[in-house]
Every structure is written in C-alpha cells, then in structure tokens.
Structure 1
Amino acid sequence: MRRGAGIGAIRNREMVQAKYKEKGAEMAETQMATLSRQLAQLRTSLESFAAKHGTKIKNDPEFRGQFQAMCSSIGVDPIAYSRGCWSEALGLGEFYYHLGVRIIEVCMTNQKRTGGILPLNELVAQLNATKSSYASEISTDDVQRSIKKLRCLGTGFMLIHLAGGRTLVQSVPGEMSMDKTSVLGLAETHSGQTTMSLCCQEFGWSEDRARTALNQLVQEGMSWVDDADPTGERVYWFPSLFQAVRSSG
C-alpha cells in the first residue's frame, strides 16, 4: 500500500507539473500575441506620423535622425521599407541611394590625395558644399547610415572610429585591423604623421609588429613615406589626417 501511495503521489506531481507547463505556454502565447498587437499598433502610428511629417523628415536632417531612431527602436528600417505610405511619404530609400552615389563620387575624387581615407566631417562638408540649392542639408547621421548600406553591398566602404573620437571613412577594399586603426589614431594626435619608434613606445609593440602595420598602410595607399627627415628615421605621413589638421588650424 505504501508503494501504491508513492506511485500515486508521483503521478499527481507529474500532472501538476504538466498543468503548470501548459499554463505557462498559454501565458507565453498570450504575451506574444499582445506584444505583436502592440508592435503592429506602433508601426501603424509611425506610418501615420510619416504621412503627416514626411516633408519635414526629408528636409530636416536632425528630425530625420530622430525619426530613424524611433523606427530602429521597434525594428523598422524605413530605408528598406517600400510598402504603402512609407515609400510615398518619405522616399528615404531613394534619398539614401542617391546619397550613396554622391558619397562614392566624393571619395573617389579624393582618393588619390587621401589614399582612400577621408575624415567623416570633411566628407559631410564636401557633400553639403556640392549639393543642389533645393536639396536638404546632409547630416553626419545620414552619411553614416548610407555608408552602412554601401558596406552591405560589398563596396569596400566602412567607418573607422579612432580612440580620439574622430571617425574616418575608408573607401578602398581591405580589412582595417586593430593595429592599423591604432596607428591612424596615433598619427591623428601627431599632426598626421608617426614613426615606427613612436608606435613601439606608445603601444609597447615590437619593431616587427609596428613595421607590419605601417607597411600595410603604405601598400594600401593610405600612408606616404618620408626618408628625408632630419632625425634620420623614416616618417609615415597620412595625407587625409594632415590635410584635416591643416584645415582646422
């Protein structure tokens, strides 16, 4: 009898656990349905907002950035969203497509001078300086979003964030390693130039490691070599950086 009572208790416990699981699944399903409804309502509200404020979104870069942030928070990409009033009211996909073409043109025009690296703020300034009089102002956020789209297409474009806070735009194919990024950041703080000994001193690198990073940047056209420095040491110049330093000075 004790054995039978024990088996019965186990079965009762299993039944209770099964009911808990069933109830938990029902609650999860209900929560998911509620969340889906809320997201659908938010998307509908955003569509109404886009239809009402479409002109301001297209013409005001700050307002456009805030709208993009709202969309991102609920997983909506208005650049890729081509249904209904999104495409009619905003035309953001077309806006970023044309901006991407202009970014490529500006970067290609400057590539011989910069070696394929252009400070983001300089790119934004050139885009605004060459835009038509009736086109809206281009913001840093606009350019960053467009470059991310270009990168998805495998164009070689990418953003390089330096430790000092500056952002560079790379417009030539090739991976930007941490070592090469560190060298660029160091050159930025030294008027657009650096040396192998300075890299070793600042980062605690061996000469081989510093030489490898510097040589790769030279081979990729991002750096120029100066062997006529009075110190006798080879100096590596980064034209995109010293041009920016000169223009800000």
Structure 2
Amino acid sequence: MLMKEYRICMPLTVEEYRIGQLYMISRHSSEQSHGGEGVEVICNEPQTHPQHGLGQFTEKRIHLSSKLPSWIKMFVPRIFYITEKAWNFYPYTITDDKGDDNLEAMLTVVIHLDILSDKIPEKHYEQKEDLSSWRSAKTGRGPLRAGWRNESLPVMCSYKRVECSFEVYGLQGKTEEFIHKVNIRDILLVGHRQAVAWTDEWHGMTLEDVRRFEKELQEQTNNKLKSKHAQKSDQCGKALSVFNK
C-alpha cells in the first residue's frame, strides 16, 4: 500500500470550499465521463462516525481502461476500474493555514500542488480555467500571481491523504506509483483549479442547493456509464482499493 498526502491551497474560505468542492466534483465527474469511462457513484449517503459525528460517505468506481499503459493491460481485465471510498466529516480536516503543518511525523510523502503553476495534461487545459487570467465577478478575486498563497485573502489548504493498494505480485509498487502520479495527482490538480475557475457558478449556493445539483448529475453520469457498459462483455472488473481520507 502506498500512501501520499496532497496539500492544495485555495483562495477560498473553508465554508466556500465546502460548496465549491461538491459542485466541482459533480460537474468534473460528469464532464469526464464518456465512452464507457469516467466516475460511477455506487454510494453517497450520510453516515455517523463515533468520533467525528455526522458526515457523508461516498463510494465511487473510476473507470479508466483506455488510460492504462500497455504493461498493465497485459495483466488486468478489459473492464478496469479503481474503487474510491471517502469519508467526509466536514469540517474535520486541517484547512485554516497555508499548508505548512506537519500532521504526522510518519508521513514521509507530502506533495504540495499549486493550482496556478503546476502543469496539467494538455488535454485538460482550458483557457477559461487558467487562473493567471481568471477573475470572479461575484467575489472580485483573481487573477492569481506567483506567490499568491502568501498574499491572498482568504486562503486555506485542503489536505488529501490517499492510500492506494494494488496487491498483485511483481506489479504492486509500479502500479500504485502510476495511479498516484497519473490519476490521483491529475484529478486533484485539475479539479481544484476548476473549483476556483467556476466560483461564479457555485458561489451563493446553499448546501441543499449543491446536494440537489450533485444528485442530478450523479444520476446522469451513472446512466451514461451503465448504458455503455451494457454493450460490453460481462467480464468482471479488477478493482484497486483507494481510500481517500
């Protein structure tokens, strides 16, 4: 099992991030789901944690067969997906700083992602989502400049601790590193850029508003994926277990 912690600073308040992240995840998942690949939501429901109280549990399948390199395709079924389980006991997370806290000394792999300057795959680039030219009409924020996290108000940091497990002898280490580098990093970086770029679309929504939006898009996305998979063979998918805490 390979665990990494990603830290992503955002020019938002914690409460804004709560709404913006839910909006972004739903829309991003919908836009990236086509041709039988994308994000299928298996479960999304309230859950009570003995320590943190009422929160939201989600389980998703990220279908990505065509995105696998040839050395993985040789060993996995034609229908391949990652299983992601997430427990969101909002705001049970350390977010009110600039990403400098050391949560646990045992964590040796900490990756800071910069939504302004870190490169994303060319296929995901959109001029209107470029934060160096973005400006929010509703909040007056933007564009972002080099060193923005030390100057921006508001500012917060999202901590994403992700455990990836692929227990296949001879392929485990290489595959887990691939999933972190090509899948998890890109999803987090692109998604958080979009959450900021789409500020004027979600700003002002209530939690109830964004939950309705989330439910509507999840149903649309699941229907797209199920329709496409029905045309394929019923070969079982090989699941990776990814736990996003």
Superposition TM-score, scaled by structure 1 size: 0.20
Higher relative contact order (CA 8 A, sep 6+): 2
Q: Which has the higher helix share?
A: 1
* Larger Rg over CA atoms: 1
